[in-house]
Each structure stands twice: as structure tokens, then as C-alpha cells.
Amino acid sequence: MNNIFKIRKSERWLALAALLLFMALNALLFIKYGKGFLHGAKGGFWLIFQNHFHVSGFDVWSLIFMSNHKIYFEITRHPLFALILTPFYWLNQWLMPATGVNFAMIFMALLLVAAAFYSFIFLHRVFREVLEMSAFDSLMLTLFFYGCASVMTAVIVPDHFCWSIFLLTMMLYIVGMQLKQHRSLETWKLALLAFFTGGVTLSNIAKTWLSGWFVNGRKFWRVKSLLTIVLLPCAIFAASCLWQIKTIEEPQKILDQHIGEVTAAKHPERKKANEIHSKWMAKVRHKPITDTPFLNWIDTSTPKGESIVENLFGESIQMHTTHTLGDMCVDRPMIVKYDYWFNYAIEAFIVLLFVVGIFFGVQSGEKFYWMCLSWFGLDMFLHLVLGFGLNEVYIMGPHWLFFIPISLAYMLRRLSAKPQQLTRVVIGLLTLYLWGYNGALLVNYMIH
């Protein structure tokens, strides 16, 4: 396979349009938060960022880290996230005193635009080259994915989700082409994919392993392969986590505890406000089965039925007009219902098309589809069976929502001419609706 990052001549206009689109979307974040977040303060970055950024439960930890080198995300779930951001912290520490500008938001926006841009290119290639869809269908299905609420939001917020989209769509394209050509994938390439997918979000490494099994078959289970693709990345992650905990997190906790004690003594009203908020959070948050790392995200209290309707297939795809982009850690209830019946009708219709698409995809018997189905099954097992992040499952949509348009592609491929044309019109109208509905709510949120 040639350089996959090279934009081909036939893709140039599409690539330019995608680049301008993602730049415009990221500009919205600067309209809302730029004035406060670009200020090159000497300290107090927690107050600057965390106390003001509340977008649908996505985190702002990357901006804090690039500002003061403090880690507030779970290292064990994102073992390489801080290491990837460290060069930008160093650069920011050099630029901030000289310019009076905090470049963390600018750096993250550049990274997000680049990740969103290439994920768009890779997903479009999946439809165009792997599935051999028409140019119109490929563009329509790609836009359907980015029109989903959680995806549209993920490409602008300073969290890790857009990076996950980039890595997962790249892997879909690479593995998809290998499967189409009936070729295996070199062990070192799978090891690199495992290293980066797992380094950004640990659970995604399982998707790399599943991909390795589908593309390499029995060869994946050889000792050398398992050592390189499974054991080596896990060993690096473990070493990275231990190093970050000992050198950054533990000293930081001691310092934060001291600062907290001093602040509480000077401002008792803040301590009281924090205690009230903590009690409120204890009521609305899920009840983990244990406080042990990893297991503390397993949710046994969130109602699954309502969460599937309002969050998994609801907020992930269509924003709610009430508590739009609200943060559950601030004021958003765990379950928010739509104000209008048509939102439920559209949700049901998309799910129905999705189920029909799964039927046609399974019938095709193609390894690529079964691989995608295994990815989707993994996410559903984590969220619906184990309850992992179920209380905020709508922000996890970027990890699996591309499976919906992929399933729709298999449906379009199998339908005869007239039903296919009708289905194409329906999917096109749904795509326009998602961009219009979610886009309007996103723009309104960011400019007010």
C-alpha cells in the first residue's frame, strides 16, 4: 500500500472542503472560549479551564496539561495521552511568557483539525475503495457519520475522541484494503496500530487485536505475533503508566492537597460549595461496583432501557433541545428526554435502517463486515453488559457510530434499483437533517 496520507489528485477538492469544514467547526470553540482560554496566565489553569468548559461531558484535561503539566485524566485508560501532548507543553512554556498567550487551545485545535481531516479521508476511502460505493454514496455516508451529534462535537472539543476516530478509521481503511486483496498485514504494522490505538484509549487496542485476527487468521495466534502485538504494547503501557504516576501524578496530588487546604482556610465558602456539589454528584452519578481502577467505571445503577433510547441511540446521534450539550457533572440529568415526537421517530427510523443494514451485512459473509460487527459488539458489551461509562454513553459514540453508515452501505449494495434509489434519497435526507438540526444547536450553543 502506498503512502496513505498522500492526498490524491481525485481527492483534492473533497479534501479542501473537508479541511475548511473542520476549521470552521473548530472556530466555533474559539468564539465561545477563546477570550478566556488564550490568556497566558501564570497559574490557576484549573479555574480558567475546568470551571468554564462544560460541553456534553467531554474533558478539557489536554488544555490544562499543555498549560501546567498537570494530569487530571485517568492515566491507566490513556497511557500515552500525556506523552503525546508533552512536546506541545514544552513549546507552550517557551511561547507563553514571551507572548502573553496560552497556545494550548491553538495547539489542540490544530491537532483536532488534522485528525478530523484524515479521518474524513480514510472513512471516505473505506466506502469508495473497500466497499466500492459510488462517489455520491461514499460522500453521503461519510457526511452521515460526521453529522451525528457526538461526532460533530468530538471533532472540536479538546478531548481524545477525535484522535480515536482518526486511528480507528485509518485502521478500517488499512485492514479493509488488505482483506479485499486477500493479503495479510505485517506484524510490525499491527503492533504500531495496537500501540497508538491503545495508547490513546486503552479499550481500542482490543479492536486492533480483532482486526489482526481477521486479517491474519491463524498467524495472529503465533507466539511471535502475540508477543509483538499484544504483550509488547501492554508492557510499554504499564511502564509508561507507572512512570507517569510516580513522576507526575503523585507529586501533583500532594501539591494539590496542600493548595486545597490553604484555599479552604482562606475561602471557607468555596469549601462549603464544593461539599454541596460533591453530595449532588454522589446522587446523580452511577454507582460503581468497586473503586478499583478500570472496574470503577462498571455501572450497575444506570437504567439501561432509558439510556439506550435517550443516550446511546439518542444523544449520540441527535442533540436534545433541553440541556443542549449539557455536562452531567454540572447540571445535566443522567436521562434527558426529547421535547418533540419527531426526534423519537427519526431515532427509530435510523435504528430500523441500521438493523436492516446489519442483516444485509451479515448475509454478505464478507470478513470486513464481520470485523466491523465484532468492533460494534465489543463496544456494546462494554457499555450495555458491563455498564462501562453507561451514564455518559453518548460521548462514546465516536468509537462506534461509523458502523451505522457502513451497515447502510451494505444495504444499498444489495437492494435492487428502485428500492436502492428510494433508500438513497432517505439516507440523504437524514444526512441533511442531522447536519441542519445538530449544526444549528451546536452553533447556537457556541455563539451564546
Per-residue pLDDT of the chain (448 residues; tens, 9 = 90+): 578 999 999 999 999 999 999 999 999 999 999 988 998 777 778 888 888 898 988 999 999 999 999 998 889 999 999 999 999 999 999 999 999 999 999 999 999 999 999 999 999 999 999 999 999 999 999 999 999 999 999 999 999 999 999 999 999 999 999 999 999 999 999 999 999 999 999 999 999 999 999 999 999 999 999 999 999 999 999 999 999 999 888 888 887 776 666 666 665 665 565 555 556 555 555 566 656 665 666 767 778 889 999 999 999 999 999 998 888 878 888 889 999 999 999 999 999 999 999 999 999 999 999 999 999 999 999 999 988 888 889 999 999 999 999 999 999 999 999 999 999 999 999 999 999 999 999 999 999 8
The closest alpha carbon to 64, from 301, 197, 248, belongs to 248
Question: How far is 150 from 78, CA to CA, in rounded Å?
Answer: 20
Q: Which residues of 316-354 are buried (b: 16+ CB within 10 A; e: fewer)?
A: bbbbbeebbbbbbbeebebbbebeeeebeebbeebbebb
Cβ neighbour number for residue 87 with a 10 Å cutoff = 11
Q: What are phi and psi of 299, to 5 degrees?
A: -105, 125
Question: How far is 153 from 149, CA to CA, in rounded Å?
Answer: 6
Pair 160, 81: CB distance under 8 Å: yes
At 324 the three-state DSSP class reads coil
Pair 396, 383: CB distance under 8 Å: yes
Distances in Å between the alpha carbon of 400 and those of 152, 230, 246, 317? 14, 22, 34, 11
C-alpha cell at 309: 433510547
Q: Which residues of 188-223 are buried (b: 16+ CB within 10 A; e: fewer)?
A: ebbbebbbbbbbbbbbbbbbbbbbbbbbbeeebeee
Cβ neighbour number for residue 132 with a 10 Å cutoff = 12
